Structure 1
Amino acid sequence: MNDMTIPFATATGLRFPDDIVFRGYAAPSRVEGEVHDLEVEGQIPNELNGAFYRNSADHAYPPLLGKDIFLNGDGMVHMVRFENGHADLKTRYVRTRKFELERKARRALFGAYRNPFTDLAEVAGEDNNTANTSVLWHHGKLYALKESGLPYELDPNTLETLGERNFGGKLNRTFTAHPKLDPETGECIAFAYNAPGQPTRDIELYVISPSGEITSHETFQAPYSSMVHDCLVSRNYIAFLVCPMTCDWERVKKGEPYWHWDSHLKTHVAIIPRKEGVKAIRWYTCPKVAQQTHTFNAWEEQTEAGTTLHLDQFITESGWLSQFPDIRDPNAREKPPFGERWSFDLDSASPEFRMQRLINQIGEMPAIDPRYAMKRANHFWFGTNNPAIGPMLPWGPKGPPFTCVGHFDEAANKLNFWYAGPDSAPEEPHFVPRGPDAAEGDGWILTMVGRRAENRTDLVILDALHLDRGPVAVVKFPYRVHEGFHGIWVGAQALGW
């Protein structure tokens, strides 16, 4: 480990630093427990039976190095179970190897985000996976995911950690936090980068069958080692953006952040046919420096000229500078993402493609009706801010908090908003259809909302096509759960309830 002061590592008792990541509403919650029959304002729709799972980064111990970034907290999964108009809450840490070692020692043992050179000698070579980013439901199993480690399987009813999974030894050391589910075939399309645990140009591509078997595993090389956080999958193609959020192992060894934004590098797009695989990969170079944050969807359009592949996603022209620095300009400010559509004429030999503004509104954490994944969708939901409706909230440890949930109806070219209220911050929206045969968008949006003045959390249910009508129901938590990243809805039938 590097020679540096460790102000909290050997202290008796616990004391978190007075820092933006560890104070106020952002402070660790660390509460594992259950609350049956949560208080409800309004009425939970009778059709809403199942479970909402979401993952968060909730530091179990004060950071070894005195400070830390939001992303490095321990995975804490929250489950809200809906049954016949009632809602129950369960929260539990993912028992990763890191978590278990630190709980036994009663202090932090691992250092900076994804930097083994800052760990204590007693955990040298141990896995620092926090399993804190998202959750996956596939082949009847629930997994907690982080892109720097392997999946951890959880019991979907108790949230008990069942163990790390490598799919019969076919996964190396990492697995994406954003796999894509094919609603027609039931397949899961997934990938991994930096699979050895340190930066490489290799990106591994997997297809997982509906029964949970890896049926395809291929590797291709990117132009440079990049944070590949998300991907896009259409009916017949897979697309990756390689963006200039890059890692240099020598800088990591010196104790510098794992990622740096380097605007001197170009942004590239890889398009891979799902049938032919990586041997038919085609590369494009973006005419602007851009970072993909998260994705809505990919879909194909047949025209007289041939096949056009459309990629709908949030794009920013800076990296995630609230977490990682700009290597060229340490004073650079993070730029907001906007919804963009990038269109590729696949039957043309031209290296160019078209970029257009899809949603003329800042936003992040995109959602669509999952039944329309891999084909054209018309309805788009996202977290956003709209100062015309309500004031912005102060900058937090992961950037400016949302104050609104937005809905864009592309056919009507119309934006609609729900404002969460003063000192309230909604998180990622999730669409749940009213029923299997409901029209696109006919259903509900679920979003966790931080009631910051009350230091408490709600789960809000909205009419997906009429956000501005306000909540259908507000499920009130009696305490604050930690701000989260990504979640999923799993219906009662799939869960066997």
Structure 2
Amino acid sequence: MVHFPQEGLYQDVLRLVRMEGDIADIEIDGEIPAEMDGAFYRVHPDPQFAPRKPGDQFFNGDGMVTMFRFKDGRVSMKQRYAKTDKWKLENEAGRALFGSYRNPRTDDPSVIGQHRGTANTNVLVFGDDLIAMKEDSPCLTMDKLTLETDGYTDWSGQLTLRTFGAHPKIDPETGNLCNISYAADGDLSRDATYFEITPDGEVVRFVRFEVPYYTMLHDFGIAGDYIVIPVSPYSSDPTVLEQDRPHFYYDRSLSAWMGVMRRDGDGSDMRWFEQREALCSCHVMNAYQEGTKVHLDTPMSKIGSLPFFPDKDGAPFDPELAMTELARFTVDVTSNEDKVESVTPLGKAPGEFPRIDDRMAGKPYRHGWMITYDLAKPYNGPPGPFAGVINTLTHFDVVSGEEQSWWCGPDGSIQEPCFIPRSKDAPEGDGWLVALVDDHVRNYSDLCIFDALDVANGPIARAKLPIRLRQGLHGNWAAADLLEAA
């Protein structure tokens, strides 16, 4: 008999799904554009079994992958667990064997030394596979059509790292998967690696470097000739593992940093530019190079934005200071000072989960999207897990500074959007957005389709799901040509 703790992590807004299945033809309101031909993949944490102890982390749930296939104005759905080594061992045992988030000391003795990954953070079609990622473990491969799990990959022995970043970028010029890895040498280690993999599976770049302190190196950007890595004052120490406290804490005494390194170098040119104010950045919208200057666009908050990772000094969580707002960090790689040159606000609406037209990754760009907070709007549902209810979808024109938004209504919230180009050669931003809109009152989700440059007019169509999907993390679109069987 399964009994999950009576905690907010498993109730109301975060009620579990734990269901695999298929829907051949989802009910549609409106009209799906006939040109939309491909699949939207996304993933959410969804624990298979109740945790070994109360107080678990949202980020510790098993990965549940959803595929929405668009074709001929119709949408089908397929959902499967990412069957990691952890999932298989626990499924066989019929109970949880792995303990607290990133703390192997809390595991059952029978699984010591096994991969603890849950593959719950991001999914992306690359080469012949769907890859499912979580940054504290290797990369899992799944069948991109059936969602059946193949297993962890090391790219034929070329990439034997024990960790694999969850926010890879696809270089629009080469098609290479660009990514980082951190803490591959062991728990709390400062090592990091940058690597690139060709669409044929060849590792063509592999560079090691160190971060200023152990941290959650969750996202990064490519910027022309460079990679750009934001470091926020999330850290940890051995006492955290010994006392089984939340793995990360926010240390306001630490500086924030912006690392810049050439992609074609050996790592010796890595420079860390300091931002003394302990600003927090978890996700990257985009980065690009402008002469000797490198820009990084990211939602930024004045304190840690994740309430489940407490302040080191015990300061109470402040929802207002934790709100993230889009800003541009700029450094000059020829500067004699290792300081961030400027931090410039780019938008007014606070929000998170930034997305761009991925064909512009690493390039000067104009259009970006985030889900944002409109705190003036009413909300009828139960309390959410974060600083507020992310109830609005906002388009940011980072050139003109204009913003336009659509509010989802008083009963729910919006999950991360994903951009879909109208065609491979369509102008930047010409296409659609897809995003799950959750009804917290009636417990349903709609997969909504928007005109990407006219989000204020609301969805042009909705695929109406018979359930509400749990809050997801990240996902990506794969055009029809990428879905062809290998």
Normalising by structure 1, report the TM-score: 0.94
- Of residues 405, 412, 422, the one that matches 2:410 is 422
Distance in 2, Cα, partners of 1:398 & 1:205: 31
- Of residues 346, 352, 364, the one that matches 1:364 is 352
The residue aligned with 1:230 is 219
The residue aligned with 2:324 is 337
The residue aligned with 2:28 is 40
Distance in 1, Cα, partners of 2:244 & 2:375: 39
Residue 202, structure 1, aligned to residue 197, structure 2? no
The 5 A counterparts of 1:105-254 are: 105-169=93-157, 170-254=159-243
**Structure 1 residues 182 and 342, CA, compared in 2 at 3 Å: closer, same or farther?**
same
SS for the counterpart of 1:294 is coil
The residue aligned with 1:49 is 37
AA aligned to 2:265 is: E
SS for the counterpart of 1:365 is strand
Deviation by residue 1:131-180 (Cα, 9 ceiling, x = unmatched) = 10001222232101000111110101110001111122323211000011
The answer to whether the 8 A contact 1:131-1:152 is kept is yes
**Structure 1 residues 393 and 238, CA, compared in 2 at 3 Å: closer, same or farther?**
farther
Residue 309, structure 1, aligned to residue 294, structure 2? yes
The residue aligned with 2:312 is 327
AA aligned to 1:377 is: Y
**Structure 1 residues 392 and 181, CA, compared in 2 at 3 Å: closer, same or farther?**
farther
Shift of 1:28: 1.1
Deviation by residue 1:412-471 (Cα, 9 ceiling, x = unmatched) = 321101111121211101111111222211111100111111111110001111111111
SS for the counterpart of 2:282 is strand
The answer to whether the 8 A contact 1:267-1:290 is kept is yes
Shift of 1:282: 1.5
Distance in 2, Cα, partners of 1:453 & 1:482: 14
The residue aligned with 1:88 is 76
Distance in 2, Cα, partners of 1:482 & 1:332: 24
The residue aligned with 2:262 is 273
The answer to whether the 8 A contact 2:381-2:440 is kept is no
Shift of 1:124: 2.0
Deviation by residue 1:45-90 (Cα, 9 ceiling, x = unmatched) = 0111100000110011111103312111100000110110011011
AA aligned to 2:241 is: V
The answer to whether the 8 A contact 2:127-2:201 is kept is yes
The 5 A counterparts of 1:384-403 are: 384-391=372-379, 395-403=383-391
Shift of 1:279: 1.3
**Structure 1 residues 399 and 108, CA, compared in 2 at 3 Å: closer, same or farther?**
farther
Normalising by structure 2, report the TM-score: 0.96
Shift of 1:192: 0.7
The residue aligned with 2:247 is 258
Shift of 1:475: 0.4
The residue aligned with 2:363 is 375
Deviation by residue 1:90-124 (Cα, 9 ceiling, x = unmatched) = 11001111111111111111111011111122222
The residue aligned with 1:351 is 338
Deviation by residue 1:224-264 (Cα, 9 ceiling, x = unmatched) = 11110000111111111222100212321221221111111
Shift of 1:269: 1.6
AA aligned to 2:467 is: Y
Shift of 1:405: 0.5
AA aligned to 2:97 is: L
Distance in 1, Cα, partners of 2:191 & 2:21: 41
AA aligned to 1:254 is: Q
- Of residues 266, 272, 277, the one that matches 1:283 is 272
The residue aligned with 1:4 is none
CA RMSD of aligned residues (A): 1.6
AA aligned to 1:98 is: K
SS for the counterpart of 2:474 is strand
Q: What percentage of residue pairs aligned between the two structures are identical?
A: 37
Residue 453, structure 1, aligned to residue 441, structure 2? yes
Distance in 2, Cα, partners of 1:216 & 1:57: 31
The answer to whether the 8 A contact 1:394-1:400 is kept is no
Shift of 1:222: 1.5
Distance in 2, Cα, partners of 1:394 & 1:416: 27
SS for the counterpart of 2:460 is strand
AA aligned to 1:206 is: F
Distance in 2, Cα, partners of 1:434 & 1:68: 41
SS for the counterpart of 1:428 is coil
AA aligned to 1:292 is: S
Distance in 1, Cα, partners of 2:212 & 2:338: 16
The 5 A counterparts of 1:406-417 are: 406-417=394-405
The residue aligned with 2:286 is 297
**Structure 1 residues 141 and 407, CA, compared in 2 at 3 Å: closer, same or farther?**
same
The residue aligned with 2:10 is 22
Deviation by residue 1:153-212 (Cα, 9 ceiling, x = unmatched) = 010111000111112232321100001110011111111111134111111111112211
The answer to whether the 8 A contact 1:293-1:337 is kept is no
The answer to whether the 8 A contact 2:297-2:329 is kept is yes
**Structure 1 residues 324 and 448, CA, compared in 2 at 3 Å: closer, same or farther?**
same
Distance in 1, Cα, partners of 2:401 & 2:168: 29
AA aligned to 1:223 is: P
Distance in 1, Cα, partners of 2:303 & 2:91: 37
